[in-house]
Structure 1
Amino acid sequence: MQRVRQGVDRKHGMTGMMRRIASRRFASLYRMFRTRISSLLQKMSAQLADLFQRAVTDERLPGDLRGGAHRDLIKRGTVTFVMRAPFKPFVSLVGDFNHWDTRSHPMQTDGQGTWWITIPDPGRTRYGFYVVVDEDSHVWVGDPYAREVFWGQKTPWAVLPGPEAPFSWSDQAWRTPALRDLIIYELCVRDFAGAWHGGYPQYGSFERLTRQLPYIVGLGVNCIELMPINAFPGESSWGYNPVFYHAVANTYGGPNDFKRFVDACHRAGIAVVLDVAFNHAWGQHPYYQIYPPMYGPKGEWLTDWNPFFHHTPPSINMWGGVDWDHFNPETTRYFQDIVRFWLEEYHIDGFRFDWVGGVDYDSNNPMRPDFNPYHGIAAICWAARQAKPDSILIGEFWQLEGTSPEKTAARLVHETEMDAVWNGYFHHTLDDVLNCRWEWEKRDIFRTIGGYRDLGFSTATQVVNYSCSHDEVRPEHEIKFHSGRYIPQPPGMTLQDVALARAKLGLVAVFAAPGVPMIYAGQEYGDDSPRTIDFAPLQWSKLTRPKHRRHLEMTKRLIRARRQHAALRSDHIRFFDNHFSTEQVVRFCRWDDAGDYAVCALNFSPEPRTVELPVPRDGFWRDVVGNRRHVAQDGRIVMELGPYDAALFV
């Protein structure tokens, strides 16, 4: 056996004795190498510790600032730059004013994670921060609180505006409408105010959107919900890939352009609500660059040390973003600052919070059935309410897999400062009915239209009803190009007629049901463009066609009726029958405590139906949908509804 072993060693050019000597030498060299590496690491750590200790000061900033550039904070003619970077040993200010020199403006720290420096006012300039991440890496980042952004080839930099006079607001008399009175109009600035010119895209801007306000005013809506406008990479996006939350997207214009838009809206009697994506950010966010994923020896994520993120690489998030950890106090404070900033600086009226289930995900207690009042969405809503007591706070909630089923949309409203939620149940059921999906006749349309209490809500204002939003295919498109093959086509009606008629049924349900009504831009005239996140200007040319003009005028009448008749804004509803599965007709009435009354009938059948509608008085009643008058006799209106037709009498 010994000979065999030596033979094997000789085959590889090494005797057994040589192998043993080499093994001992390797062990000795390894111990020496390990000692030197350990000494080097200790030396590096000592150097970083020395850097940190030299930066620590007993001074404190006035106020509890966490970021941004602040003029005249310490002394007139100066700017104080602030950066929040817990656990980091060194931060310096860089910019055009110092030729991006990482050593010329080292920042001081309170030792608790806040870094700052005050310098003579450099005027308008690009700036950022140089941050030592650890012994092996450093990064150059923009300001997480930047109000303007310059997108460089490698790094997006913050922009310090030049000294300028404060914006002159004219909305001092403006009051945000009560939730019960809201009629919401959702739009994407890029698409609503954009157009194709010579085959090239001209993306919408705040300036062009302001010029289009007369059209929106003419509709009668009193609240515009803007899809996200926070600064994102690139020129074209829906905005659900945010990077800089304090800045408006460059493609839409500058801060004053947005202020002029909000000011014009308020003068016109329209509230402005911002859709915000707080669940995740894109990987270019400065905090993610400073706190990148860190892995243990077995490849596991080290999550405890990161003060901002759940610590997953961008590929993990289903949308391509990185998830914020809203149960870390650092993240909580950051987003509280964000909502306060937009309410105070831009005079907006509130927020629509995208995917609240993700925002409120607690990785340490995912099965928690309630909403933690000190973290997550509750803390964000609290900060918004403190900044503006009458702010409009609307959430999109659907349960996240692996969380408690007891954590519901209704509890979100009851346990936090959230006013209302998007009524997904209303939309999904109505969408199945409009598109005649499998066994649509068996859907509980009555609970859909009037069952907000069955869903756990206490008042109708706690739900926002819609038949279409940016998240869904427009019913006109779905019916015209997909589901129309399954929908009976009555004699004399084209497929386009059917699509418009059934879309009309959805709109009438939205405005006649208890809850806050919302429409998606283009619904008012029957836009049938496909759903895409790419640039898709509205089909304004359809307004030249009689059918779409009639659809638009009908929508205006529905909006006007909603604003003029308190019965349609009340919590009260009563259905007159329960034969939807056979007759495909829904009849119900609405009333308020002061005596206002409205009655509605929806015919989802391809056949005409004779309907009887009880009313509290005889005489003339006006049908908002058909713009016609009917006479009530013996306490009832009797009329024939055509295929896919509706009536709303007030």
Structure 2
Amino acid sequence: MIFEVWAPKATAVELYALGGRRAMSPGERGWWSAEVEGAEHGTPYAFAVDGDGPYPDPRTRRQPEGVFGQSMVYDHAHFTWSDHDWKGRDLRGGVIYELHVGTFTAEGTFAAAIEKLPHLVELCVDFVEVMPVVPVPGGRNWGYDGVDLYAVNETYGGPDGLKSFVDACHRAGIGVILDVVYNHLGPSGNFLRPFGPYFSGFDGSYWGEAVNLDGPESDEVRRYFIGNALQWLRDFHIDGLRLDAVHALHDKRAKHLLAELSEEVDALACFVGRPLSLIAESDLNDPRMVRSVDAGGLGMTAQWNDDVHHALHCAVSGESHGYYEDFAQLSALAKVLTQGVVHDGSYSNFRARAHGQSFAGVPGHRLVACLQNHDQIGNRPVGDRLPIPALKLGAGLLLTSPFTPMLFMGEEWGTHTPFFFFSDHVEPELRESEGTRREREFDGFGYVWEAPNPSDEETFLRSKLDWSEVKEEAHWSLLCWYRDLIALRKALPELSDPRLDRVRVEVDPLGKWLLMWRGALAVTANFSLESVTLPLTPGTVLLASDDPVVMGEEGLRMPAQSLVISRSTRK
């Protein structure tokens, strides 16, 4: 077989394989190659560049010994798929479920996650969104410190494990979205630098050095990332990618990397015959992110919408510290439900400047919204989640909103399990400084930082879901509430209608209640600790979070901290 590697500045590149060391031949545009008879699927190999190394292949498909070990030849054709009838799933109308493989089950593997798919089928979610699965240093990590971007973490089950998980999801009727990180690489085990100008030479964000998307020799660097995205969608049958922190991509070219990626993914979708989605995480509040390329946008299918999360969180928790200060009033929740964002060019107190742009004309399904996610829980010092009463209210509003809703693992039954930030760096200086670095990252957010040590194994183990909780009455009741909400959303077209201009919202001047109209459906939320009566004409109650609910001549009488969905009209 032929081995290839890009090393445009090297004067000599050597291949280690089958017990020998072979000189590679230079080719066009910085590519080197060598043919090795007898090399095949499962053959270990590595490269040396100008005498330094050996290093893993920058495009390694398998790292069986971890980020510091040799690469291994991996032939995608060796896996047998059973999802031949899978036609894909459109993001529109879908419900997403985010999970972290290492903490979703006690075993922390793809195989164990497959055993939990019946739970997700009964919950009636349409997609699972898997946090990054590329190799990381040590045995535990969120995944955003990844290197070897073409490979899969062996701790989870390696490339065959991921394929088995995707195959099982498709057989269960569930699409798979994979979280990928292209704005930086992890600080440990990153061996790209000896091969070529993969980096720009300056800090692109808090998390690391900017990748070289627009400087000299950047054509191949861009192909490195675009080729990676296409690999997941084509060779692993992934249905969509969630692109981490795209605002940290530094690209001044006329055609942005995201626009180029969008065009490539559209072409691949035509070839594989199923829809492929790109979901950007962006804090810019810029509607160009989700506009088509031919309309001057970046072509993303959707983007995460933090404004919805912040407004929901404030409404159900009462918190107003840090960035929550801009969302503390119910008027902020009313605005996001009808206009998509709060910061549409308005002033942000947290940023001390104007922020964002109007999303007028953007359908709600292009905005992925949540009540909880890995960041919003894990970025809190003690990884604490919302209590069950808050989850009932928040889920009721989220799952009747015009957006694409996303849940975070365990949320649906109100798990007490925290989700901490954890890592397992090999280098002592990284292990010892991780907690301090994390505290420094959130300076000014209003937290008293008393977080457990991210490097302690116990921090990771405490983050694993406790599935035995589901059997307890309070947790089972909440799970049934989530199931009923998703089922109602799928049964009534008004609830999945993405047109923001069709949503009407009224709020109590005293901040006790909110009334959202979805066509003829009234979604009423009582945030106060006392019962309230909303001025609605008698109608049919379709779903209520708590009893007793009375629909009488005076209106809708609701208990404290409750939510009701009904067919009603305004009195």
TM-score band, normalised by the shorter chain?
0.7 to 0.9
1:545-564 to 2 correspondences below 5 Å: 545-564=472-491
Q: Note if contact 1:476-1:500 (Cα within 8 Å) is conserved in structure 2.
A: no
Instruction: Provide the rounded CA distance (Å) in 2 between the counterparts of 1:157 and 1:443.
Output: 56
- 3-state secondary structure, aligned to 2:518: strand
Q: Which amino acid aligns with 1:468?
A: Q
- Residue 456 of structure 1 aligns with which residue? 359
TM-score scaled to structure 1, two decimals?
0.70
Match of 1:326 in 2: 213
Work out the CA distance in 2 between the residues paired with 1:479 and 1:189: 17
Question: 1:475, CA displacement in angstroms?
Answer: 12
Rounded Cα–Cα distance in structure 2 between residues aligned with 1:507 and 1:382: 35
Q: Cα deviation per residue 1:229-284 (whole Å; 9 max; x = unaligned)?
A: 11222111111011111111010113222212111111111000001111111242
* 1: CA distance, partners of 2:234 / 2:396: 36
Could you tell me which amino acid in structure 2 is paired with residue 188 of structure 1? H
Number of equivalent positions: 491
Q: CA 1:578 to 1:519, structure 2 compared with 1: closer, same or farther past 3 Å?
A: same
Q: Could you tell me which residue of structure 2 aligns to residue 66 of structure 1?
A: none
Quick one: which of 88, 108, 113 aligns to 2:30? 113
Which residue of structure 1 lines up, in the alignment, with residue 190 of structure 2? 285
Tell me, in whole angstroms, the C-alpha distance in 2 between the residues paired with 1:499 and 1:475.
17
Specify whether residues 478 and 436 from structure 1 end up closer, same or farther in structure 2 by C-alpha distance, changes over 3 A only: farther
Change (3 A) 1:501 1:478: farther
Q: Aligned pair 1:170/2:170, yes or no?
A: no
Q: State which drifts further: 572-581 or 435-444.
A: 572-581
1:386 equivalenced with 2:267 (yes/no): yes
**Structure 1 counterpart of 2:19, which letter?**
N
Give 1:261's match in structure 2, choosing from 148, 153, 165.
Answer: 165
CA distance in 2, matches of 1:125, 1:583: 65
- Determine if the alignment matches structure 1 residue 607 to structure 2 residue 530: yes
Secondary structure, counterpart of 2:118 in structure 1: helix
- Offset, 1:515: 0.8
- Tell me by how many angstroms 1:288 deviates: 2.0
Equivalent residues in 2 for 1:621-632, closer than 5 Å: 621-623=541-543, 625-626=545-546
State the one-letter code of the partner of 2:261: I
Residue number among 371, 375, 390 corresponding to 1:502 in the alignment: 390
1:265 and 1:272 in contact (8 A); partners too: yes
Cα distance change, pair 627–562 in 1 and its aligned pair in 2 (3 A)? farther
Is 1:468–1:475's contact at 8 Å kept on the other side of the alignment? no
Measure, in 2, the Cα distance between the counterparts of 1:479 and 1:258: 27
Matched with 1:309 is 199
Letter in 2 for 1:222: D
- Give the Å deviation of 1:448: 2.0
Structure 2 partner of 1:356: 246
Q: Which residue of 1 aligns with 2:495?
A: 568
Tell me if structure 1 keeps the 8 A contact 2:550–2:558.
Answer: no
- Structure-2 residue corresponding to 1:420: 302
Map 1:77-96 onto structure 2 (within 5 A). 79-95=1-17
Classify 1:253/1:323 alpha carbon distance in 2 versus 1 (closer, same or farther; 3 Å). Answer: same
Asked if structure 1 preserves the Cα contact closer than 8 Å seen for 2:383 and 2:419, the reply is no
Q: Is the 8 A contact 1:598 1:649 kept in 2?
A: yes
Larger RCO, structure (CA 8 Å, separation 6 or more): 2
Query: What's 1:224 paired with?
Result: 128
Deviations 1:302-345 (A, max 9, x none): xxxx3x112248xx8523x4331222222211111111111111
> Could you tell me which residue of structure 2 aligns to residue 16 of structure 1?
none
Q: Tell me how far 1:437 sits from its aligned partner.
A: 2.7
Distance between the aligned counterparts of 1:165 and 1:277, measured in 2?
26
Q: How far apart, CA to CA, are the structure 2 residues paired with 1:391 and 1:221? A: 17
Change (3 A) 1:577 1:466: closer
1:194-205 superposed matches below 5 A: 195=106, 202=107, 204-205=108-109
CA contact (8 A) 2:63 2:70 kept: yes
From the superposition, tell whether residues 628 and 461 of structure 1 become closer, same or farther in structure 2 (CA, over 3 Å). farther
Instruction: Tell whether the 8 Å contact from 1:382 to 1:416 is kept in structure 2 after alignment.
Output: no
Aligned-pair CA distance for 1:631 = 6.7
State whether structure 2 residue 280 is matched by structure 1 residue 395. Answer: yes
Q: Which amino acid aligns with 1:374?
A: K
Aligned pairs (5 A) from 1:466-615: 466-473=370-377, 499-534=387-422, 535=460, 536-572=463-499, 578-591=506-519, 597-613=520-536
Give per-residue Cα distances to partners, 1:568-614, cap 9 Å, x unaligned. 111346666644341421112113xxxxx432001111121112346
- The answer to whether residue 556 in structure 2 is matched with residue 639 in structure 1 is yes
What residue in structure 2 maps to residue 337 of structure 1? 227
Which amino acid in structure 2 is aligned with residue 355 of structure 1? A
Percentage identity across paired residues of the two chains: 28
1:212 aligns with 2:139: no
Matched residue, 1:65: none
Match of 2:144 in 1: 240
Looking at structure 1, the residues matched to 14 and 234 of structure 2 have their Cα atoms a distance apart, in angstroms, of 29
Distance 2:177 2:228 in 1: 14
Gaps of 5+ in 1: 1-78, 196-201, 292-305, 366-371, 400-407, 482-497, 592-596
TM-score between both structures, scaled by the size of structure 2: 0.80
1:106 to partner: Cα distance: 0.9
Q: Deviations over 1:514-572 (max 9, x none)?
A: 11010100110112333312321113232232111111100111111112221111134
Is contact 1:242–1:281 with CA below 8 Å preserved after alignment? yes
Matching residue of 1:486? none
Please state whether the residue corresponding to 1:178 is helix, strand or coil. Answer: coil
Provide, for residues 423-470 of structure 1, a one-character-per-residue CA deviation record: whole Å limited to 9, x for no partner.
111111222222213473364221122212864152111101111100
Q: Output the CA distance in 2 between the equivalents of 1:352 and 1:587.
A: 32
